[in-house]
Amino acid sequence: MSGDIIGELVIDVAKSEILPRYNNLKEADIAAKSPGDMVTIADLAAEKALTRALKREYPTAIIGGEESISEAPNLLAEITTADHAFLIDPVDGTNNFIKGDPRFALMLTELRKGQVEAAWIYLPVTEKLASARKGEGARLNDRKVVTLAPTFEPAKMVAAAHLKRFPPEIRCLAEHNLKDFKENRPAFCAGHDYIMLLEGAKDFSVYYRTLPWDHLPGGFIFTEAGGYVRTLFDQKKYRIGIQDKGLLSAPSEALWHKIRQSVFPDRFTRS
């Protein structure tokens, strides 16, 4: 099964299970897994549909997603060690989806022994599909994309810095330092932000929480396009199972260090 066909599966599931429910949710279709962490009938239906489709093609693969792992946390460990596995984020940006905000995504990661082999991000409303396979670069719909690193000029740079979950002292400092930049426009949807990075519409992204279904696909695709993705505090490559808090993505290694020093000075980022 080729990557293009998996991409078609992702699109088909989005069209059959997610888009019909967009701006069409009833109160009974929405629930809270924990305060502020919402799930909808679209999340559940999309994950089940994509799981079934992948299982037909790869009967021996371990397949799980954000919602099934929420119910059975040990499934993530199985995915991490499996010879072949898929990890699904059925609706990334669920809160946006509930509010009728078009910035939501369906994301899929293919792994072998915990290493990412390929990934897909689909934005159903704008019909943008980003994808990559290890060593083959990244694509956005039908064209290959390569990151272009701008000159470090904060007054011209757009951030996607999600600061709410940072410890208060670091968050306050970062909010102050981001005033030197042109704008901070977090989408509250990792999939959307990673595609904006690929397009050059945003220059860097910052997250504190680093859940694998949120960041494995985008971090992998952006890296295949030439971007630089590292944990904010320890500068590690992001991978499944990593427990570090904080993730910074920038178009190049040089820019990554300049952005980190500008927004998060060393005295706060040294572990």
> How far, in Å, CA of 48 to CA of 50, rounded?
6
Q: Which two tokens stand for residue 25?
A: 């949710």
Cβ neighbours of 23 (radius 10 Å)? 11
How far is the C-alpha of 69 from the C-alpha of 168, rounded, in Å?
30
φ/ψ of 26, rounded to 5, equals -95, 165
Please state, in angstroms and rounded to a whole number, the distance separating the CA atoms of residues 158 and 178. Answer: 10
Strand 204-207: give its sheet, edge to edge.
183-184, 158-161, 204-207, 247-250, 228-231
Residue 89 in marked binding region: yes
| Contacts (Cβ under 8 Å, ≥6 apart) of 122 | 7, 10, 11, 14, 105, 106, 107, 128, 129, 130, 191
Residue 107's SS3 state is: strand
Cβ–Cβ under 8 Å, residues 9 and 54: yes
Rounded to 5 degrees, what angle do the CA atoms 36, 17, 64 make? 65
CA distance 44 to 105: 14
Beta bridge partners of 77: none
Residue 4 counted as an annotated binding residue: no
For residue 265, report the phi and psi dihedrals to the nearest 5 degrees.
-55, 155
For the chain, helix (H) and strand (E) counts, in that order, are: 10, 14
92 annotated as ligand-binding: yes
Binding site per annotation, positions for Mg(2+): 66, 89, 92, 214
Binding site per annotation, positions: 66, 89, 92, 214
